[in-house]
Amino acid sequence: MDFEIVMQELEALGKERIKKTYISNGAHEPLFGVATGVMKPIAKKIKLNQPLAEQLYSTGNYDAMYFAGIIADPMAMSEEDFERWIDAAYFYMLSDYVVAVTLAETDIAQVVADKWIASGEELKMSAGWSCYCWLMGNRPDAEFSVSKMDLMLDQVEKTIHNSPERTKSAMNNFIYTVGISYLPLHDKAVETAKAVGPVEMKRGKKKSSILHASENIQKEIDRGKLGFKRKYVRC
């Protein structure tokens, strides 16, 4: 299936209502408004296709960029490729749910995520913290350094309230993910969540979100989800 056909199929699946929702979350034209679930049949036909993924991602069309993440071959992507992708990710649904997710399926994930966390740039930082969430929610605990994760929890506790808005959300999710999916530091994550308390995330003209890592960890524990790992990172 070539580039033109994929773009035509995505356009045909677009819905005005979904397009408005994406725009309200930060997407901008060009986009079609395609629900992510309905992309799956096209993705099944294509499987992984990095050259096509690159073509689609470079369009700047949100739906095409999202679909690129579904068919990308992460192991065929270099650190430079991920830098290009994060530079083009203009809002959090791309940085955290396309770029970070794709990065989480590589061997260079932690190295790249660490650089992004240290960058001081809102969406790079957000993608870096999000990448760790995707990683810990999928990979065995033994793949992570306990001392490094411990220091990262300390960093979140000290800096979350003064961080950029989207970074706050990803950091809050990091505490939650450590608390549920990384058993060696479960207790420390619970303590960190309590110390941090509610986190206010401003959302432009929308009402601020109040994030509660502590409450969310407890909800998952009550549901018997402690130690939860996803089978796959990407859907």
The dihedral through the CA atoms of 112, 164, 34, 137 has a sign that is positive
- What ranges do the domains of the chain cover? 108-235
Start-to-end Cα distance in the chain: 21
Contact 116, 86 (CB under 8 A): yes
How far apart, in whole angstroms, are the C-alpha atoms of residue 68 and residue 99? 10
What pTM did the predictor assign? 0.96
> Can you give the pLDDT at residue 235?
60
Q: If we measure between CA atoms, which residue out of 202, 190, 180, 187 comes closest to residue 122?
A: 202
Q: How far apart are alpha carbons 153 and 90 in whole angstroms?
A: 27
Residue 56 near residue 72, CB atoms below 8 Å? no
Q: Where are the alpha helices (DSSP H) in the chain?
A: 3-13, 16-24, 40-46, 50-57, 62-71, 79-88, 92-94, 100-103, 109-117, 122-136, 146-159, 165-181, 186-196, 213-222
User: Using CA atoms, how far apart are residues 212 and 191, in angstroms rounded to an integer?
Assistant: 13
Pick the closest to residue 172 from 147, 200, 148 (CA basis).
200
Predicted confidence pLDDT, tens digits, the chain (235 residues): 899 999 999 999 999 999 999 999 999 999 999 999 999 999 999 999 999 999 999 999 999 999 999 999 999 999 999 999 999 999 999 999 999 999 999 999 999 999 999 999 999 999 999 999 999 999 999 999 999 999 999 999 999 999 999 999 999 999 999 999 999 999 999 999 999 999 999 988 889 999 999 999 999 999 999 999 999 888 6
Report the distance separating Cα 87 and Cα 110, nearest Å.
18
CA-to-CA dists, residue 125 to 11, 31, 40, angstroms: 32, 25, 29
Q: Burial, 58: exposed, middle or buried (Cβ in 10 Å; 0-12, 13-18, 19+)?
A: middle
pLDDT of residue 1: 82
Give the DSSP H/E element, type plus range, for residue 118: none
pLDDT at 8: 98
CA distance 184 to 3: 45
